[in-house]
Amino acid sequence: MRKLVIIIHPDMENSVVNRMWKNALINEQIDVVDLYELYPDRNIDVAREQERLMSYDTIVFQFPLYWYSSPPLLKQYQDEVFLFNFAYGPEGTKLRDKKFAIATTVGSLEEDYSEEGSNRFTLDTLLSPFVATFNYIGAQYKGHFEQYGTVNHATKNELIEGSKHYIEFVKAL
């Protein structure tokens, strides 16, 4: 099973957790593509990305939760790469039955992401547009991995443990 983690973080240099996760993935010899590093000008090579997606069985989108969604390059990537007759439509079967998952970092605490919490929505609810997309293209959604409290809440040991759990999550896909 070939696995690919697509990282979408616009400021990886100043990231703590996503950078830690990226390094852990590389150390485990899991294939990683950093979209902001690969496309700093935001000009996505659609044919290259479609070929890349077709060559893997499992794809993980890794990103920090930004304003209750993903960084903008992931939306652009989906809009430009998940095309008619590639990802959907009469001949759009190229991603069918592939496994997709999400890995996200969340600055706030877990209790903030509940109907009673300060955000009033669960992380599952906020990620539902991605799940709907995976369903629409006939892919298998394998769930998400998250680390809460990444801004001023989690200890270094919690971040290290979270990184280990993330690697286990990816390997188990």
* Domain tally, the chain: 1
The tokens for 33 are 């593509």
Burial class (CB in 10 A: 0-12, 13-18, 19+), 106: buried
Domain assignment present for residue 60? The answer is yes
Domain assignment present for residue 30? The answer is yes
Domain assignment present for residue 149? The answer is yes
| Lowest mean pLDDT segment, chosen from 10-24, 32-46, 152-166 | 152-166
Domain assignment present for residue 50? The answer is yes
Per-residue model confidence as pLDDT tens digits over 141-154: 999 999 998 887 88
Domain assignment present for residue 2? The answer is no
> Per the confidence metrics, is the pTM higher than 0.85?
yes
Question: Of 73, 60, 150, which Cα lies nearest the Cα of 113?
Answer: 150
Residue with tokens 């479609």: 50
User: 69 forms bridges with which residues in the sheet?
Assistant: 66
Looking up residue 77, the CATH number of its domain turns out to be 3.40.50.360
Say whether 146 sits in a helix, a strand or coil.
Answer: strand
* Maximum distance among all Cα pairs of the chain, rounded to whole angstroms: 50
Residue range(s) defining the domain that contains residue 66: 7-172
Domain assignment present for residue 1? The answer is no
Domain assignment present for residue 91? The answer is yes
DSSP 14-71: G-SHHHHHHHHHHHTT-EEEEHHHH-TT----HHHHHHHHHT-SEEEEEEE-BTTB--
Per-residue model confidence as pLDDT tens digits over 90-127: 999 999 999 999 999 998 888 999 899 898 999 999 99
Domain assignment present for residue 25? The answer is yes
